[in-house]
Structure 1
């Protein structure tokens, strides 16, 4: 009984320790960056202009805030990512459910996915610009496309992995097709769908930055390319850091939603074997 109580205390303390370690890691990264930049500025190992310190990056951010443009770049990137990612995920989930439930649709879609899947989304950006112009539409479509394929693959796999016994049991209890879809198929496939969303999130941010570097007048990707043109290294590092911050916030939000939906899921191997 004492061992069980001790294990319970360890599990209650564990999440705080993980969060604490995460913040220590981030703080250590910036501290090491600061030390390397200061050392290089003193000893001139390479041109100090190429590696601004975090304090210089913060000063550059303060200057952009004072000019009233930093918020614009952050918000432009955030709403483009939110719309493109949401659109790509929604279409991928719908198509994935249809393909996963029909062998005929799967036989039609599989060769197309094998043909299009290996093509990097970035190779298609010039085509999107030619088709849709240089406004917001090609950027949103490009982000949605980068999101679409991984979510589609994981959705199809999730639908096909539903336990047939659960479906037969629901039929035997008189459940309708819609009830089986909502309460059995969709709920069983949701964990796979969220894995696909996590994989796609990083690809979506990459697509966002590339899209904003071509034909944009605002956004963090535009800030990087504009700073490169004027050799403002601190602004480039600032934009890159803010992209990382935005990704972290979106990832945390997605993780919170996932944790709320899947409260039944525990920590798996890491929590099963407490040290």
Structure 2
């Protein structure tokens, strides 16, 4: 009698050391290469004299603005504007994206309009925003909310549309009403897509910040860039650019970590 030995069961993936040290190391190496390339471009004279400051000159300019010109205030104001704009735009995108995905007549009627307005760059709307909203905070935040809404609504719409119909049918067969289907079935399944929408909207809003702060803003990182450019203070221009990128990166990583925690309950398939 031949004994058949069953193949050993696959061991579950071992939870080893945290992955963040490797990510941090590679990320640091990438930025180190960027700085090295920056110094190289300066030393080789690839850009006209006086138009490319060294990284250490940018650091000195940042310290000067930080200690004597209210750079932290500019940073706080810009972060506040972006957070409010993303919150408003994303919050409005959730019901709009759901309606587009759930009701075919709504999708046929308003889908082309979403595509039309999504293609319009926010900076093109600055003159109209000034006409309709003036030059206050409402005008600046409206530009950021506009940018956040139209990228978020597409992601939310695709997320709702990609839900497997079997979940909806199962909920209805158990007697769930439409509000219950949405609350207990659709909403939990679309949470990851909503978080992706917020993440994308955050990036777009930071990219739109300079356009928003063209609306007569006296403070903010976009205003720092605009004012420095007007007086050809190139290191200060780089200070604004570097800070926008750095803060956007930090916020993106924080949101990415929040996404991992919020979707941990979901079953993950694949390797």
TM-score by length of 1: 0.86
Kindly state the Cα deviation for residue 264 of structure 1 after the two structures are TM-superposed. 4.8
CA distance in 2, matches of 1:3, 1:31: 49
Q: Does 1:158 align with 2:159?
A: yes
CA distance in 1, matches of 2:160, 2:90: 15
RMSD of aligned Cα (Å): 2.6
Q: Does 1:18 align with 2:23?
A: yes
CA distance in 1, matches of 2:28, 2:234: 26
Retained in 1: the 8 A contact 2:126–2:215? no
1:116-127 aligned within 5 A:
116-127=117-128
Distance 1:191 1:6, change over 3 A: closer
Give the aligned partner of residue 182 of structure 2.
Answer: 181
Q: Does 1:30 align with 2:31?
A: no
CA distance in 1, matches of 2:229, 2:267: 46
Retained in 1: the 8 A contact 2:89–2:145? yes
Kindly state the Cα deviation for residue 173 of structure 1 after the two structures are TM-superposed. 3.1
CA distance in 2, matches of 1:46, 1:114: 39
Deviations 1:144-182 (A, max 9, x none): 001111111111121122212112222333444333212
Give the aligned partner of residue 259 of structure 1.
Answer: 260
CA distance in 2, matches of 1:111, 1:184: 28
TM-score by length of 2: 0.87
Quick check: which one's helix share is greater? Answer: 1
* Match for residue 8 of structure 1 among 14, 18, 35: 14
Kindly state the Cα deviation for residue 207 of structure 1 after the two structures are TM-superposed. 1.5
Unaligned runs of 5+ in 2: 1-6
CA distance in 1, matches of 2:53, 2:212: 26
Q: Secondary structure at the match of 1:124?
A: helix
Distance 1:170 1:208, change over 3 A: same
Kindly state the Cα deviation for residue 77 of structure 1 after the two structures are TM-superposed. 0.6
Q: How many residues align?
A: 265
Give the aligned partner of residue 215 of structure 1.
Answer: 216
Retained in 1: the 8 A contact 2:117–2:150? no
Retained in 1: the 8 A contact 2:155–2:194? yes
